Amino acid sequence: MKRETMIWAAIMLLGAGTLIWRAAFTTNGMGREYVRAVPVGNGQWNRYDPATYDDYIRSESANPNQREYLLSIPRTICLWIAAFFTIAIFSFLYRDNPIYKIVEAIYVGLSAGYWMVIAFWDVLIPNLLGKVWPTMIQKWAMPGLSGPDAKRDFWYLIPLVLGIMLLWRMAPRGDWIARWPLAFIIGTTAGLQLVAYLHGDFLEQIRSSILPLVVNNLGAFDFWASVENLIVVVGVLSCLTYFFFSFEHTGFVGKTANVGIWFLMITFGASFGYTVMGRIALLAIRIEFLLDDWLWLIDPLHRHTR
Amino acid sequence: MKRTIPLLITALGGFVLIASYFIPPAQSWGENVSIWFDILSSIAFVLGGANLLMSHLKSISDRKSGWGYSAVVLVSFLGTLFIGLGKIGVHPSPQFPNMAWTGYYREMGSGFWFIYQYGYTPLTATLFAMLAFYIASAAFRAFRAKNVEAALLLGTAFIVLLGRTFAGVALTSWIDPSKWSGFKYFTGLKIENLTVLIMSVFNTAGNRAIMIGIALGIVAASLKVLIGADRSYLGKD
Amino acid sequence: MRDFLEQQWWLVVIVLGSLAPLAAQFVSRGFLPTLRTLDRRWIFLLMFWAVLVPIYFVGVTGRTFPEIPGALAKATFNEIEKLHAGDPVLIAFDYDPSSEGELSPMATAFVKQCAEKKLKMYFMALWPVGSQLADATIDDVLKSDFPNLVYGQDYVNLGYKSGNEGVIKVIVTNLRELYTTDSRGTPLQDIPMMHGIQNIQQMKLVIDISAGYPGIKEWVQYAVTPFPETIHLVGGSTGVQAPQLYPYVPRQLPGLLGAIKGAAEYEKLVIDKYGGPHPNPKYLDGLRRMGPQLVAHLLIIFLIVMANILYFADKRRESRS
């Protein structure tokens, strides 16, 4: 057996042993979810709200036959599945492996299905089918639909037809039919963005760049505020000079463009710093999940310890 | 017909929105066009799902290398669809207890809620958490101070990285006017203050110029699409 | 720290034990040769420990670094603070679990401050999963700490609509054409706090928690810029996007929280005002996550410095030969 395989086998065995010991033989254990049963709908069914281990122990101590606070087996199992998913994805950092590939495939299918379901229930039912066939939708899924919202609006046949044409893209023949809705989407996007970018990102930014180079603060000359404004104005103009490739960057234009490059390097350096900050926070929350929700090694929110 | 009508649709959709911006009585046309756009965006999700289904079914039927993973994709996709569209585990709305489909599809405890809480969230979050590792690796491999510009970038990055944590505060905490009055002229050199200066002055200037440049590019590209000069989105005949 | 190391000796053993092979390489092969051929998996491991150990330390000891709120965090806080009880605010959840680490602390703190100010909260989302995150924040903050608030009277979740900036374009003038029900399917006419609300220009403030596209940029372009007198926006964004939003500050965006640092500063302001002597730990997530930030940032700086030492050493060696 290869040395690497032996080391990994040893780590896996040690890890599994630690998990079993921690789950079964320590005072608080690990990786469990508790819920509180709340009767809903005149007691016809229960809603299960999250509860803490402490709530459960207190309830059990007061009344061992209580059924309000429970250990949730489905949520506990799913918590371990979520932890497995997390570790499976992290395993890619060592090497690509079949477990990572399977979990990645689950993610691809799950997220595509998830977005489709949301689009169906949040948009297609209320905003399309609810407008074209309001009576049917009212009888089936939205009985509260009433008033002007319950009236058929024939204008919504247009997006319905365009939507069916869009799906024609999957057909083996006649995929040119999908060009109509695609053209609508492209045209609408272009129309939306043209004005928005012109107004919000072009005109307003030029307006924001027109800054006083002599700043008076409570009647006195504010040197540093004036310097800052000057730097902003010089920075914007020099960066724009750099972006202007119709002129050769020589002489005064070249020197200004060089200053622009320095400003851009500072901008990119700042962006890098913030990007690092962003990425690390994402890792932090996953490690918090492993240490807090799963392993119960830390308990900053007082959910697991008594 | 196959290309002319789409070009007219593009122009009409775009110019109605532009007109609604400048002509207040035309605002309702703009709203209608935007709502149809919103509905088509959700149908695009359905198209995306259908495309995924077709491509992975083809991969399985052709027995391409790795077709087993395509089977896993399909199982998770169809399973999520079944549970979500079928409102599995969803109770009817308390106001309409006899109508099975009136419940909230994302109700806590429903099948779809379980998929989100214990499937979608850990998978999405962990995949993006991997970026922290890659940024560390990239920092080691790629960031070299080869010239003045690169040194400027790295220097700024160091200041921002330190200044946005307690490390920066601690490093320059000795610049304290209460310890020596002369320091009051140097408080701007404290790393956390330098960071604020970099972000509010230098970064603002650079990003403003980038924003102006991008805005001009978007306007040009949008105009080309609307007047029919750019037809690449129509594909080939 | 010493007590922590003594009590958690097992963690020290595991960390040092895992890095022992790397140390052995440095000793046996030399510093520069090891750096030159450093397997990136060692960097991954270093980053893993750089984040895990501080999280564990903060979790066990409860200690966090002090935070001094900056000008932008104060501006964001003050924009909400100057509102009055009963003022409507729109809170847009434009992110998904991939950015939850940075943005959930902001979302929690925003909702906490709005609830303390007794504002009428209208939740919505431009990202498909945003509505679910809004539900989670409502459960975590409003239902848990403000049980007197009533859904439909004090807060409502309008849910998600597809279309990105197309949604903003519609709701700035006609919200009810697009939103006929809330996220649960209840018609808007049956929701008391929706009476008289025709569009978002009636909101006193729009708060956007944004991870990318669509997000704060689109809210600025399609809501604030066309209607600067009636729509005011503050927001929280990820670290990746925040530098690109600075040009909008302050004219189009009076307040901006950037990355987890912005979240921590804003949390400090909220808990100082509303947290009481013993603030609930769920409002301290951002402050807790600054611990791993510090160590990881120092690691990144260390790696860049090491890489440049290697670069200049190799350059000198080449110029000599």
Both B147 and B229 in a single domain? yes
Cβ count near B206 (within 10 Å): 30
> pLDDT digits over A6-17, tens only?
988 998 999 999
**How is chain B classified by DSSP, letter by letter?**
-TTHHHHHHHHHHHHHHHHHHH-GGGHHHHHHHHHHHHHHHHHHHHHHHHHHHHHHHHHHHTT-TTHHHHHHHHHHHHHHHHHHHTTTTPPPPTTSTT-GGGS-TT-TTSHHHHHIIIIIHHHHHHHHHHHHHHHHHHHHHH----SHHHHHHHHHHHHHHHHTSHHHHHHTTT--TTT-GGGGGTGGGSHHHHHHHIIIIIIHHHHHHHHHHHHHHHHHHHHHHHTTS--GGG---
**CB of B223 within 8 Å of any CB in chain A?**
yes
A contact chains, 3+ CB pairs < 8 A: B, C
Residue A181 has pLDDT above 80, yes or no: yes
Both B127 and B215 in a single domain? no
CA distance A304 to A297: 9
Torsion of CA B124, B125, B130, B131, to 10 degrees: 100
C21 phi and psi, to 5 degrees?
A: -60, -35
Question: Would strands A69-71 and A216-217 be described as parallel, antiparallel, or unpaired?
Answer: unpaired
Query: At what angle are helices A98-119 and B27-61 packed, to 10 degrees?
Result: 150
Counted residue by residue, chain C has a size of 321
Contact between chains at A283 and C282 (C-beta distance less than 8 A):
no
Residue-level pLDDT at B50: 92
Of C229, C184, C171, the closest CA to residue C204 belongs to: C229
Both B151 and B235 in a single domain? yes
Least CB–CB distance from A192: residue in C104, C166, C224: C166
Residues pairing with A220 in the sheet = A217
Residues pairing with C255 in the sheet = C234
What amino acid is encoded at C23 in this protein? A
Q: Which residues of B touch C185 (CB under 8 A)?
A: 93, 102, 104
With pLDDT > 70 as the criterion, what percentage of chain B qualifies? 99
- What mean pLDDT do residues A192-210 have? 95
Q: How many CB pairs under 8 A join B and C?
A: 159
- Least confident interval from A141-145, B101-105, C109-113: A141-145
Both B163 and B232 in a single domain? yes
With pLDDT > 70 as the criterion, what percentage of chain A qualifies? 98
C7 phi and psi, to 5 degrees?
A: -75, -35
Residues pairing with C160 in the sheet = C125
Of C213, C131, C222, the closest CA to residue C171 belongs to: C222
**Tokens encoding C69:** 């709120």
A154 phi and psi, to 5 degrees?
A: -70, -20
CA distance C268 to B3: 58
CATH architecture of C71-279: 3-Layer(aba) Sandwich (3.40)
Both B60 and B45 in a single domain? yes
Residue-level pLDDT at A170: 83
**A56-65, B59-68, C56-65, C80-89: range with highest mean pLDDT:** C80-89
Q: How many CB pairs under 8 A join A and B?
A: 415
**CB of B31 within 8 Å of any CB in chain C?**
yes
- What mean pLDDT do residues B189-208 have? 95
Closest chain A CA to residue B95 = A41
**CB of B133 within 8 Å of any CB in chain C?**
yes
Closest chain C CA to residue A146 = C187
Q: Which runs of E-coded beta strand occur in C75-191?
A: 88-94, 120-125, 155-160
Domain tally for chain B? 3
Both B234 and B150 in a single domain? yes
Residue-level pLDDT at C191: 94
At residue B237 the predicted structure's pLDDT band, cuts being 50, 70 and 90, is low
Residue A245 has pLDDT above 90, yes or no: no
CA distance A55 to A200: 52
CA distance B236 to A274: 42
CA distance B92 to A142: 11
**CB of C300 within 8 Å of any CB in chain A?**
yes
Give yes or no for a contact between C129 and B120, defined as CB atoms under 8 angstroms apart: yes
Residue A150 has pLDDT above 80, yes or no: no
Both B112 and B154 in a single domain? no
Least CB–CB distance from B34: residue in C170, C226, C290: C170
Both B112 and B162 in a single domain? no
Question: Would strands A45-51 and A34-40 be described as parallel, antiparallel, or unpaired?
Answer: antiparallel
Residue-level pLDDT at C264: 96
Residue-level pLDDT at A149: 64
Comparison of pLDDT for A85 and B177, the residue scoring more:
A85
Give yes or no for a contact between A31 and A83, defined as CB atoms under 8 angstroms apart: yes
Contacts of the segment C71-74: beta carbons below 8 A, 24+ positions apart: C71/B196, C72/C249, C72/C255, C72/C256, C72/C257, C72/C258, C72/C262, C73/C255, C73/C257, C73/C262, C73/C265, C73/C266, C73/C268, C73/C269, C74/C269
Residue-level pLDDT at C304: 96
Phi-psi region of A52 (alpha: psi -120 to 50; beta: other; left: phi over 0): beta
At residue C130 the predicted structure's pLDDT band, cuts being 50, 70 and 90, is very high
Both B74 and B90 in a single domain? no
Residue-level pLDDT at A178: 87
Both B106 and B178 in a single domain? no
Residue C267 has pLDDT above 80, yes or no: yes
Contacts of residue A146, Cβ cutoff 8 Å, sequence gap at least 6: A138, C187, C189
CA distance A182 to A189: 10
With pLDDT > 90 as the criterion, what percentage of chain C qualifies? 90
Residue C306 has pLDDT above 80, yes or no: yes
CA distance A254 to A248: 8
At residue B234 the predicted structure's pLDDT band, cuts being 50, 70 and 90, is confident
Mean pLDDT of chain A: 91
> pLDDT digits over B62-85, tens only?
998 999 999 999 999 999 999 999
Residue A306 has pLDDT above 70, yes or no: no
How far does B47 lie from chain C, in Å, by closest CA? 14
> pLDDT digits over A65-86, tens only?
999 999 999 999 999 999 999 9
Residue A147 has pLDDT above 80, yes or no: no
At residue A44 the predicted structure's pLDDT band, cuts being 50, 70 and 90, is confident
- Look at the pTM and tell me if it is higher than 0.90: yes
Both B150 and B234 in a single domain? yes
Residue-level pLDDT at B24: 84
**Domains of chain C by residue range:** 2-64+286-320, 71-279
Q: Which residues of B touch C298 (CB under 8 A)?
A: 167
Q: From residue A165, how far is each of A160, A300, B2, B47 by CA, in Å?
A: 9, 53, 13, 11
CA distance C41 to B140: 12
Mean pLDDT of chain B: 92
Q: What is the domain range of residue B64?
A: 1-78
With pLDDT > 90 as the criterion, what percentage of chain B qualifies? 70
Instruction: Give the containing element (helix H, strand E) for A43.
Output: none
Contact between chains at C162 and B157 (C-beta distance less than 8 A):
no
Of A34, A72, A38, the closest CA to residue A55 belongs to: A34
Residue-level pLDDT at B80: 97
Comparison of pLDDT for B31 and A264, the residue scoring more:
A264
What amino acid is encoded at C274 in this protein? Y
Of B201, B206, B204, B198, the closest CA to residue B158 belongs to: B198
- What mean pLDDT do residues B35-59 have? 92
